[in-house]
Amino acid sequence: MAGKVYLIGAGPGAQDLITVRGARLLAQADIVLHDALVTPEMLALCPQAELIAMGKRSGQRSVAQQIINQHLVDCAGRAALVVRLKGGDPMLFGRADEELRALEEAGIEVEIVPGVTTAVAAAAATRQPLTKRGVARSVAFFTSSTAPEHAELDAIPNTDTLVQYMGGREAIATAERLLAHGRKPDTPVVVIENVSRADQRIHRMDIAALSQGLGMPAGPVLVMIGEAMRARLHQPAD
């Protein structure tokens, strides 16, 4: 009989930000297929498991999604408990739809364990609420990475606070589009690299500065934009 597959969110990176349920299942897993952004510290929670790297990194050579889907089906055919470990939350920019469909079509039981998505961890790390009474009551999470056949979805949402995942390579284009649509050049921006990890870095700027680019970040970048990102009086230094 086929085993069961769990799509588990590893959270933003820090080992202790995975859920209790996720950590318990990792400790029981026979096989763990993990993303490139999953840290070695997180994989230390499953020393008994066979580890299979299934990373997808923007702008880098990575495993095709169809191959990942087939690996999941194959692993469920030879192990009782299979974990697909994804950075952040599996249901947000995690290609969960393709993997769920592949497993469901193969008749394999699937369960999803949510994780702390990077935007929420970034708000906590910077002490910048994504919503603020009288300032921001709407938030959009977006990415500029879309499939070629869905290029029309590549528009920036119109909300008070914007959170761009995988925003390092798209910084200039994002800023230019925001300025073209009427956002003020001095709108505050907070850029977080390697959220929740030991090498986390926080940069504060505005849209005008963002339009000059972010150079070559050493890790995954999240960009938070909007008046809610304006630094508070007496806010501790990052």
Provide block-wise average pLDDT over 10 residues at a time, the chain (238 residues): 93 96 98 94 97 73 86 97 97 94 97 97 96 96 66 74 93 94 96 95 97 90 97 75
- Residue 235: inside a domain: no
Q: How many folded domains does the chain comprise?
A: 2
In a shared domain, residues 174 and 94 = no
- Residue 236: inside a domain: no
The model's pTM is 0.89
In a shared domain, residues 158 and 87 = no
Beta bridge partners of 162: 140, 225
In a shared domain, residues 107 and 128 = no
Domain's final residue, options 61, 95, 113: 113
Residues marked active site are found at 35, 56
- How far apart (Å, rounded) are the C-alpha atoms in residues 181 and 187? 13
3-state secondary structure of 127: coil
Beta bridge partners of 4: 81
Q: Is 75 exposed, middle or buried (0-12, 13-18, 19+ CB in 10 A)?
A: buried
Task: Find the domain containing 34 and state its range.
Answer: 4-113
In a shared domain, residues 22 and 105 = yes
In a shared domain, residues 30 and 100 = yes
CB 223 within 8 A of CB 189: yes
- How far apart (Å, rounded) are the C-alpha atoms in residues 15 and 29? 17
> What does the pLDDT read at residue 149?
52
